[in-house]
Structure 1
Amino acid sequence: MKEVEFNRQRLDNGITVLFEKRDIPVVAVSSAVKFGAQYEDFKIKGISHFIEHLVFKGTKNRDVVEIPREIEGKGGIINAFTGEEITCYWNKLPSKYFNLGADISRDLVLNPLFEKEALERERKVILEEIKMYHDNPLSYVMEKIKENLYNSPFNMSVAGTLETVSKLSREKVLELFNSIYSTNNMIFCAVGKTDWEEVLAEANKFPKVNKKINSIPITNKNGEVIEKRKGIDQAHEVIGFHMPKLTDKNRYAAEIFDSILGGGMSSRLFQEVREKRGLCYAIKTNLEQSRDYSYEIIYSGTVKEKVDEVKKIVLKEIKKMSDLKQKDLDEAKETLIGLKQINREKCDSTMIDLLQEELGGNAENYYDYESCINKVKLEEVKKLSDLKGYSFVALLPD
């Protein structure tokens, strides 16, 4: 990968700072908290996601209209996301407004009001979001496969459930926010056209506060669920299995395995299930990798009479990955390196990748991607075809 100007530093106030300098006059900025759904017990599941929504309802410095308007008025984008191990507040805008973007992202993580009326309104919004995921067959089976790959509370949805979100009080939200949102638990990241000195100046504006995050054990399992639902015409099925984590030696072998098996129209599953047999419109894989968990999912939509046939083909193709040739490996490496280079075009995509690598150990690993992919040996990929077990979920028309 081309040499870039990258800086990483832990400041005296406790915050970790990441910065990649670019020449194009755009900058992506984020203030991220190293706390997400994986740290929640079943009683408060969904609270990180709830807080992510609530901070946009007003801070000590800006109201619900001013927060987005200040960014969007400059032609920028403002958003946030909640994952298992992170809650990230980010924006992207012309680089001459870097200080504004930094100030707003910092304002969101330091000064939310959590006003009671706004909280109750947003609770209703999130309850509708949860219903939306339930009613969407694709979203539903994706949630269900996670339920069958892990034990509670990790296997629950990041958004929580109707029951847990309904019971989250303002007092509980404030308690968690005050116990977690501290600078030693934060990463400030910028990718774009600005200077390291400017980034450090903005990062030093965070007050020094130290809080401890308590981890909750994540334990694996395998299971199978087949359900029926009225009002749908297509069967949705997912196979899932555990894979090497970001900190494991074979993490890059897992990426290659995923790419060959289900990465795009030329992948083995797309060619075998859709092109050769016409059994589905959509068939795709996704590798979910993190420091503390990792799993592969294979989704397909077909007619209910063909669910078993598709399942057998998928399992057979996984087994056939043990017969990979060096040519297959070389082609997959070139594919993944090319995709990484294309993904780098967007500064916000690079920002999120840097955050992910930092959570996995060190953001600098992002820049070793090509070297690490090229070091993967054929046998390391082939070994991943020997599944120790898998989970299966199907939602069938009734």
Structure 2
Amino acid sequence: MKFQKRKLKNGITVMHEKRDLPLVSFGIANPFAGAHETAEIKGVAHLIEHLVFTGTKTRTHEDISREIEKKGGILNAFTANDVTAYWFKLPSEHLFNGIDILVDMLKNPKFDEEKFEKEKKVVIEEIKMYHDTPQRHVMEKLEENLYESPFGMGIAGTKESVTSLKRDFVKSLFDDKYSPENYFVTVVGDADFDKVCDYLEKEFQPGNKTYQALKIKKRNRESKEERTHIDQAHFAFGVHAPMPGEKELYVLDVLDAYLANGMSSRLFLEIREKRGLAYTVKSSLDFEKNYSHYSIYVGTTKEAIPKVKELILKGFEEIEKMTDQDLKESKERLIGLKKVSSEEGINVLNGLIFSEIANGNAEEYYKFEEKINSVTLEEVKTLAKKLPKTYSTAAIVPK
């Protein structure tokens, strides 16, 4: 594996993992996202992500999609809390066709008034979809219980906040928050690194703009929502977790591999296989530069929620019984999963983006195996005692 990283004269940070297969994944990320929004404009970063796809001064929405797809490519984007990213995957021979489209989208978005109003309606339908999917919505409620507003409001915003957004304000916000010196460009695949850097240096001029995320305030609380027309209860348990750059974040990876990650984990075996209390038992470790939390989701019955919560807390306690063999197997699982995941270029692209933003050092992404192997059994047991001292829960149950 060959990795290169360069800071261009216009401020863009370019990262490249060289691969021999004739495919390339390419992304441009901008560190303006959900964590930068007040409650009144919550969802604006996500709306901007949608709007840049609606057309430029020279391309319609159809042109943008067709020019990528007719060459066998995939074009997409995502909004997180610390970053919004736009990416494509194409055969390598079409790399610069794809780059030209992304550059056009970010330099010349039209923000047409009619399309703006239509896209707000699209986003509001997306918000409704998330709300009407209990397994998804319960995780949003958990985040709301872990953090005070506006951070805990959800990246897509609310129907009210999105409805209130006006075209001129959103366009001016885009002009103010999208500036090349803040961009991170990631390339994974068969590409000429120098040619990519030269192209980006010619196409973008720095705007000398800076901005910071709002202060995130943690909290812990529990909630329960009753709904009609559902048969399953959805329960989520969450704790604030170690931050990026802290060794304990890797310790938590190992803890999770043993406790709740996969069908051989302690909680899956206890809650589903032994007791038959659930179909789904799964965990998630979510973090970016300015936040980190660990969660466990269980799809169960309304009556079983107290027992499930008890078993989760007991699971943390029983990590005291974890053995050296358990530690070894957990590490092997994590390292193996990382290798399997890394086969897909988009996964590596995203990993490099988040590592660069969270740690200020994309190379940290490649130290995963080393960091996991350095975790000790005592560190896992110590963290297991500390994490659940304070926690949040969210439940959506049948009425």
Please give the range of the TM-score, normalised by the shorter of the 2 chains. over 0.9
CA distance in 2, matches of 1:29, 1:321: 41
Is 1:130–2:100 an aligned residue pair? Answer: no
**Which deviates further from its counterpart, 112-121 or 197-206?**
197-206
Is 1:324–2:322 an aligned residue pair? Answer: yes
C-alpha contact (below 8 Å) 1:76/1:92 kept by paired residues: yes
CA distance in 2, matches of 1:388, 1:292: 21
Give the structure-2-normalised TM-score: 0.97
CA shift at 1:191, angstroms? 0.5
CA distance in 2, matches of 1:239, 1:301: 12
Residue type of the partner of 2:3? F
CA distance in 1, matches of 2:37, 2:91: 36
Per the alignment, residue 194 of structure 2 pairs with: 197
**SS of equivalent residue, structure 1 residue 384:** helix
Q: Give the one of 214, 235, 238 matched to 2:236.
A: 238
Per the alignment, residue 335 of structure 2 pairs with: 337
Residue type of the partner of 1:260? Y
1:276-298 deviation digits (Å, cap 9, x = unpaired): 11111001000102221110111
Moved over 2 A (4+): none
1:59-99 deviation digits (Å, cap 9, x = unpaired): 12311100010000000000000000111000001000111
Per the alignment, residue 107 of structure 2 pairs with: 110
Per the alignment, residue 48 of structure 1 pairs with: 45
Give the structure-1-normalised TM-score: 0.97
CA shift at 1:214, angstroms? 2.6
Per the alignment, residue 155 of structure 2 pairs with: 158
Q: How does 1:1-398 map to 2 (within 5 A)?
A: 4-204=1-201, 205-360=203-358, 361-386=360-385, 387-398=388-399
CA distance in 2, matches of 1:348, 1:197: 21
CA distance in 2, matches of 1:213, 1:245: 21
CA shift at 1:135, angstroms? 1.1
Residue type of the partner of 2:390? G
CA shift at 1:144, angstroms? 0.3
Gaps of 5+ in 2: none
CA shift at 1:203, angstroms? 2.2
CA shift at 1:326, angstroms? 1.6
CA shift at 1:388, angstroms? 2.6
C-alpha contact (below 8 Å) 2:82/2:213 kept by paired residues: no
CA distance in 2, matches of 1:214, 1:357: 18
Residue type of the partner of 2:391? Y
CA distance in 1, matches of 2:162, 2:156: 8
CA distance in 1, matches of 2:336, 2:93: 31
Residue type of the partner of 1:230? T
Number of equivalent positions: 395
Residue type of the partner of 1:247? G
CA distance in 1, matches of 2:164, 2:213: 22
CA distance in 1, matches of 2:120, 2:5: 37
**SS of equivalent residue, structure 1 residue 57:** coil
CA shift at 1:249, angstroms? 2.5
CA shift at 1:202, angstroms? 2.5
Residue type of the partner of 1:396? V
CA distance in 1, matches of 2:154, 2:98: 30
**Which deviates further from its counterpart, 300-309 or 117-126?**
300-309
C-alpha contact (below 8 Å) 1:253/1:380 kept by paired residues: yes
CA distance in 2, matches of 1:209, 1:297: 39
CA distance in 1, matches of 2:287, 2:383: 15
CA distance in 2, matches of 1:199, 1:332: 39
CA shift at 1:312, angstroms? 0.7
1:167-211 deviation digits (Å, cap 9, x = unpaired): 011122012101110011111111100111122123212222221
CA distance in 1, matches of 2:379, 2:32: 32
C-alpha contact (below 8 Å) 1:14/1:209 kept by paired residues: no
CA distance in 2, matches of 1:110, 1:255: 39
CA distance in 1, matches of 2:268, 2:154: 28
CA distance in 2, matches of 1:251, 1:109: 34
**Which deviates further from its counterpart, 323-332 or 69-78?**
323-332
CA distance in 2, matches of 1:6, 1:133: 38
**SS of equivalent residue, structure 1 residue 296:** strand
